[in-house]
Amino acid sequence: MTIDAPAKLNLSLRILGRRDDGFHELESLMVRLPRLADRLTVEAAGEDEFRCDAEGVPVDATNLVVRARDRYREEAGVADGSVRLSIGLEKRIPHGAGLGGGSSDAAAMLLAMQHFHDDALSREELLELAAGLGSDVPFFLGDPVMRVRGRGEILEAVDGADAPPSRPVLLLKPSFGVSTPDAYRHCLDARELPGVDYRPQEFGWATLVNDLERPVFQKHLFLAEVKEWLRRQPGVEGALMSGSGSTVFAVLDSAERGESLAAEARKALDPTLWSWWGACGACGASEPVS
C-alpha cells in the first residue's frame, strides 16, 4: 500500500507556558498542504527493511517511521514481528523546515500498521501512541484543518464556516534547518528584534501569529529578513514562519503570483532558497492512494 504524508502549516502558534511534564502548553491552528507530501510505500516482506531516497535521512531506529512501526507493535501486542514489512519513503518535504514532514511520515506509518494488523488499536489508543511519538503526529491522524492544544494531543476539528478557505501560499526555506528543541527552550525569554513586526496579522479567516518567531529570529536573523521582505511585496497579504522554522510562508492574493515571487526572492535574498507554491485550507488528508 502507498500513503501520501502531507506537509502542514501553522497559521497560528501561541505558547501559553511550560507544563509540569517539561513540555510547553500550546495552541495552534494547523492546516495541511495536500499537494506537498512525502510518500510511504509499505509491503509485506520476508524481513523488515526501511529505505529512504533522501540523502542524510537516518534509516535506523532514530527515524520516526521506524519508531512508529516498533511502538505500534509493542502497544498492539505484535512485537514478535510476525508481519515483516518492507518500507520505502520518498521525501518531498524538506527536513528541519517546520512543515511536519517527520511527524506526517510517522502518522502514515501508524495508518499502515493499522491496515496490516486489522485495526488492532482503537482510535483513542492510536492517538495516544501518536502523541508519544511527537507533538505534531496526532494532527496528521485527524481532519485537514484543526485547532491543536495541550502539547499537541488535544484536537478540535475546524470545518464549515469556521474553516479557513483555500488560500494560495508561497513557501520559502533556506538551506539550513532549525532545531525545534532549541526554539522551544528559549521561547519564553527571547527578545524581539528591532524593525521586525511580530504582531498578529488579522484576517477574516484566521489570525497569523507565531510565538516561536522570537527565539528563532534571534538566532537566525535571515528568517526575519525573509518575513519582512515578503510582507513588503505586492500581492502578499501576510507572511509568517511555520512552526519552529526554517520555512517562512506568504499568503498571496493570487495563485499566479507564486512562481514570479519565488524567483524574485531568490534574486533578492538567496539564490539557493527552496520554494513551493500551492493551496492550503480545508482540503486534503493522509490516506492510502493505492
Name the grid cell of 127: 492517538
Instruction: Report in angstroms the alpha-carbon separations of 14 from 24, 70, 212, 259.
Output: 10, 32, 8, 30
Tell the burial category of 35 from Cβ atoms under 10 Å away from its Cβ (0-12, 13-18, 19+): middle
List 4, 38, 105, 136, catalytic entry: 136
Name the grid cell of 32: 495541511
Cα within 13 Å of Cα(249), Cβ side: 30
Beta strand 236-241 pairing with 145-150: unpaired
Catalytic site includes residue 227: no
**Could you tell me if 196 and 289 are in contact, meaning their C-beta atoms sit under 8 angstroms apart?**
no
Residue type, 115: H
**246: cis peptide before it, omega within 30°?**
yes
Residue that is written with C-alpha cell 527493511 in the block: 49
> How far is residue 239's CA from residue 218's CA, in Å, rounded to a whole number?
18
Catalytic site includes residue 8: yes
Q: 67-72 long-range contacts, Cβ below 8 Å, gap at least 24?
A: 67/106, 67/133, 68/106, 68/107, 68/109, 68/110, 68/113, 68/133, 68/137, 69/109, 69/113, 71/129, 71/132, 71/133, 72/109, 72/110, 72/113, 72/117, 72/121, 72/129
Residue type, 47: E
List 8, 91, 173, 227, catalytic entry: 8
Catalytic residues: 8, 136
